[in-house]
Structure 1
Amino acid sequence: MKNNHREHWNSRSSFIFAAIGSAVGLGNLWRFPGQAFQNGGGTFLVAYLVAILTAGVPLLTLELAIGRKFQAAAPSAMGRMNKRFEWIGWLGVIASFIVVTYYMVILGWASDFFVHSFSLKWLGDVDYFKNNVLQQTASPGELGSFNPLLCLLVAVLWVIVWFCLRKGIKTVGLIAKITVITPLALLAALLIHGLTLPGAMDGIRYYITPDWNKLWDVNLWAAAYGQVFVSMSILMSVMIVYGSFLGKKSNLIGDALIIGGGDAAISFFSGFVIFTTLGYLSTITGTPIGDMEYQGIMLVFVTYPQAIAAFPGGQVVTILFSLCFFLMLLTLGIDSAFSMVETVTHSLTDKFGLSPKRTLIGVCLAGGVISLFFTSGAGLYWLDIIDHHINNFLLLLIGIAECIAVGWMFGTAPIREHLNLYAKPKFGRWWDVMIRYFCPAIFILIGISFVISNIVTPYMGFDYQYLIIGGWLAVALALAAGIGLQQAKGKPLPAADKGED
């Protein structure tokens, strides 16, 4: 039994652009280079490529197939597979909602820099991001003040998300064609200019040269797989929702390879942009790249303003490149925000039969209120803690549960058969092996190592009390909420037959 009234994409290109737009976001330009920088440059690239092939592509195709086969958002789709699986879908939805609440604040930071690019207010001030945008306190326990401009910008961004999503996924597909192509052109322009800077090649060499000894570090592999999950929007219920809007004759495998390949290519490409700049900063400061203190969000909001401020050509050129860079961040990020909000909205409407328009308003209002917490002086601390535990641990738990549910209880054969219906190329039994054996085994190994390493060494030196509240408690509450939503009474969905297509 299918949902015959479900929306569908206008065209294959609309779906592909929307899916790439979801996959390609701040995770590519902010998180990917940051992970590469913290994990040995070229060494991380090797681990990331392995993670894409062994987990990224298999899980992306799995989730698209689940969505199209069962024609429902993740919780309902998993529930139709087996009523005991619904909580797994809800766990991904909850992860999406948590992530989008702080993701919008990161877009707010980019908006602040974009607004002030006209006056270059941050020019020559290396502490502008910390003191003016974040108004950062000394620790997570000291909440501090709220930046009024940042609060306003975040509110405006939530209104933009609501406005763009109010007409449904057809609008998302159209907007994505603009917001995917535009940042690629801007990224190319920045790379061309970056290659002309002194020291650029030193940065590239650091980026692409592996240190093979570091491949034995389990934290490197945890970072690589976690980055694949975030970057490709898998295990967050997003791709199941997007797959549910596909027609029966869609080439799932071909589309997945385009989406995964496009996402990986843009990640690698953005790394060249960032590391040419790091090479330049290393040259002008005399500090070796490996000894530089930039990490995480600082790569975007500290490194780049410094580099842009030093561009030759005068104030006009500085303003132009600044506007281009921060506009690129906004256009890259907004599609990812769309997909996460859509995931939450459609999951609620599928389960409870709610009005899509009212549900969208409710999700945006709830997300907006929570986002305000991250605009406080302690916001970056809590963002970092939550991001670390959600993306590097909770998503691993979802991956383990999803692979066991499909691989060992429902069966991979019906999903693979559905996946291969109109696919070119087709997947063989190796795909079953990856879902049944390899992915859960590697996820369990990395998950255990993550727990041990984070107990032995507190993340970023934070006090354990903050890591427990913002990390482990957040994971526990997400698990409890997923189970609770499964138990909540909603609109009944028929159980699916294994042979259903």
Structure 2
Amino acid sequence: MADPTVVKREVFSSRNVFILAAIGSAVGLGNIWRFPYVAYSNGGGAFVIPYLVALLTAGIPLLFFDYAIGHRYRSSAPLAMRRVGRAKWVESLGWWQVLVCFVIAVYYAAILAWAGMYFIFSFNQSWGDDAQAFLYGEFLQLADTPHIGFDFVPQVAMPMALVWVVTLVVIALGVRRGIARANVVMIPLLLVMFLILVFQAIMLPGAVDGLNAFFTPDWSALTNPGVWAAAYGQIFFSLSVGFGIMITYSSYLRRRTNLTGSGLVVGFANSSFELLAGIGVFAALGFMMQATNQTMDEVAAGGIGLAFIAFPTIVSTTNLGPVIGVLFFASLMFAGFTSMISIVEVCVSAVRDKMGLSRVMATAAVGIPMAAVSMLFLPTTTGLYFLDITDEFINKFGILLGAFTSVLVVGWILRKLPALQQHLDRVSSVRFGKLWLGLVGILVPIVLGYIVFNEILTKIQAPYGDYPAGMLGIFGWGMAGGIIIVAVVIAFATRWRRDVVTEIDEAALNVKYEEIMQK
């Protein structure tokens, strides 16, 4: 029987390679600089309970949701959604996910460039005695007030250009020669480097105090709905679900592949790395707390503050500084780069499916405009303001709102969850049956809806970061709403190439899978 879904599609050479690529996408900057602070701020050791509950009841089920769509319909996010719903308005959900990835890649490249420069700075501690002044003043040359400006900063622009060149070369080489090989090399190296970093960190004086601060449970936090929302939010952010990555990667799997087994490995590997990051980060912060005579509340930070201010300060304070600095920023680079590859690949895959371009041509068609926008806004004296606003709004109203809408449409409007559940059970060794239907169809939309609703209220009541209304309107609300409009326009105003099958015969597809599984 002819394949009813695809003319020709690249595949990963093995399931293990796919698992490494999926882990590479999931393990990113957020695992290292976001999770430890979120856990500390939401009950310390007690946070592990809602975190694990969120992983098992929402994170992994939503991961299976993406896997099932990508693997069953073997295509990029827009084409897969078109095949699911047989309508252009459903296809627009896929383009929404593609545009989310476009926006994230634009600013993600800047953070990778910073990590690369700080990797070099670590050898001679170029930040001197004041890491904060160095970051904002000498390195980023940050403008005193938020505004839209185009005063370029060469020391940021040059490494950013290199990040884009390397990323696009890897993607242009293809799934096997580029994406797979990059992850096969980088993920094991990342694990080795981070294990060494954690070992060095826990040997520092004061490390025990930091670990106590991180793990000491505040059981009263478990009665706070905000803590549970934070746990679910962290899981959604860290697993790379809901914005096309796992749909795209799973479409490169062979027909006979254990989806749920692979997903469990990816989910628990990602969470294990987050816990490992928490141990390493707070052990180092415990040393910093002792060395500077400050409290944990004073030294604990997340995001950019942790990576580019707190850790350089730690490096400058300990005799092991150069080793810790090199390992930490190398880990940031590797974790970020494997995620960057997966983010850009979502866009490239969608354009290839839509236009029938070769991989090299599609990479150029997507990568050059993406890099141009990135280089226009980020390596400037106001780039950090743009990054901060865009990251906040694209995460909350791009990823979370997009995932919420996709689950509602596929589950409740199209009623496709039973077919996806049967697909998962047919090809996988671990079968979740109706339990998965209940989690994805009921619990996940409730939790996502609650988080998104609270975020909308919060942003309306208090403007994010006290930024000017104009900047929030353009790079925040305007960007979040604009990508939805553009996604609808792309879906309705463009046509698929002639050899693409957009409407799938589900019965024929089921027969094909039955034949494959019986062989």
Q: Which residue of 1 aligns with 2:321?
A: 318
Q: Assess if the C-alpha contact under 8 Å between 1:108 and 1:157 holds in 2.
A: yes
Q: Assess if the C-alpha contact under 8 Å between 1:76 and 1:493 holds in 2.
A: no
Q: Which residue of 1 aligns with 2:114?
A: 109
CA deviations 1:431-480 (Å, max 9, x no partner) are 11112111112211221111112222232333444323222111100110
Q: Assess if the C-alpha contact under 8 Å between 1:254 and 1:425 holds in 2.
A: yes
Instruction: Find out whether 1:330 has 2:333 as its counterpart.
Output: yes
Q: Assess if the C-alpha contact under 8 Å between 2:389 and 2:475 holds in 1.
A: yes
The Cα shift of 1:486 comes to: 0.9
TM-score (norm 1): 0.94
Question: Per the alignment, in what secondary structure is the counterpart of residue 427 of structure 2?
Answer: coil
Q: Which residue of 2 aligns with 1:90?
A: 95
Q: Which residue of 2 aligns with 1:410?
A: 415
Q: 1:339 aligns with which of 337, 342, 351?
A: 342
CA distance in 2, matches of 1:203, 1:319: 21
Q: 2:357 aligns with which of 344, 354, 357?
A: 354
Query: For residues 41 and 106 of structure 1, do their structure 2 counterparts lie closer, same or farther at Cα, with a shift above 3 Å needed?
Result: farther
CA distance in 2, matches of 1:226, 1:386: 17
CA distance in 1, matches of 2:190, 2:447: 34
Q: Which residue of 2 aligns with 1:462?
A: 467
Which shows bigger deviation, 374-383 or 318-327? Answer: 318-327
CA distance in 2, matches of 1:393, 1:41: 27
Q: Which residue of 1 aligns with 2:147?
A: 141
TM-score (norm 2): 0.91
Which shows bigger deviation, 138-147 or 422-431? Answer: 138-147
Q: Which residue of 2 aligns with 1:442?
A: 447
CA distance in 1, matches of 2:152, 2:94: 34
CA distance in 2, matches of 1:375, 1:220: 36
Q: Assess if the C-alpha contact under 8 Å between 1:68 and 1:243 holds in 2.
A: yes
CA distance in 2, matches of 1:71, 1:165: 19
Instruction: Find out whether 1:120 has 2:128 as its counterpart.
Output: no
Instruction: Find out whether 1:8 has 2:16 as its counterpart.
Output: no
Structure 2: which amino acid aligns with 1:444?
G
The Cα shift of 1:400 comes to: 1.7
Q: Assess if the C-alpha contact under 8 Å between 2:79 and 2:502 holds in 1.
A: no
CA RMSD in angstroms, aligned pairs only: 1.9
The Cα shift of 1:144 comes to: 6.6
Q: 2:502 aligns with which of 480, 494, 500?
A: 494
The Cα shift of 1:14 comes to: 1.0
What pairs with 1:97-246 in structure 2 (closer than 5 Å)? 97-126=102-131, 127-141=133-147, 143=149, 145-171=151-177, 172-215=179-222, 217-246=224-253
CA distance in 2, matches of 1:110, 1:368: 18
Instruction: Find out whether 1:81 has 2:84 as its counterpart.
Output: yes
The Cα shift of 1:100 comes to: 1.2
CA distance in 1, matches of 2:475, 2:187: 33
The Cα shift of 1:330 comes to: 1.0
Q: Assess if the C-alpha contact under 8 Å between 2:425 and 2:433 holds in 1.
A: no
Structure 2: which amino acid aligns with 1:411?
K
Q: Gaps spanning 5+ residues in structure 1: where?
A: none
Query: For residues 271 and 387 of structure 1, do their structure 2 counterparts lie closer, same or farther at Cα, with a shift above 3 Å needed?
Result: same
Query: For residues 214 and 386 of structure 1, do their structure 2 counterparts lie closer, same or farther at Cα, with a shift above 3 Å needed?
Result: farther
Percent identity (aligned):
32
CA distance in 1, matches of 2:237, 2:368: 24
Query: For residues 200 and 236 of structure 1, do their structure 2 counterparts lie closer, same or farther at Cα, with a shift above 3 Å needed?
Result: same
CA distance in 1, matches of 2:368, 2:41: 35
Question: Per the alignment, in what secondary structure is the counterpart of residue 124 of structure 2?
Answer: coil
CA distance in 2, matches of 1:454, 1:42: 29
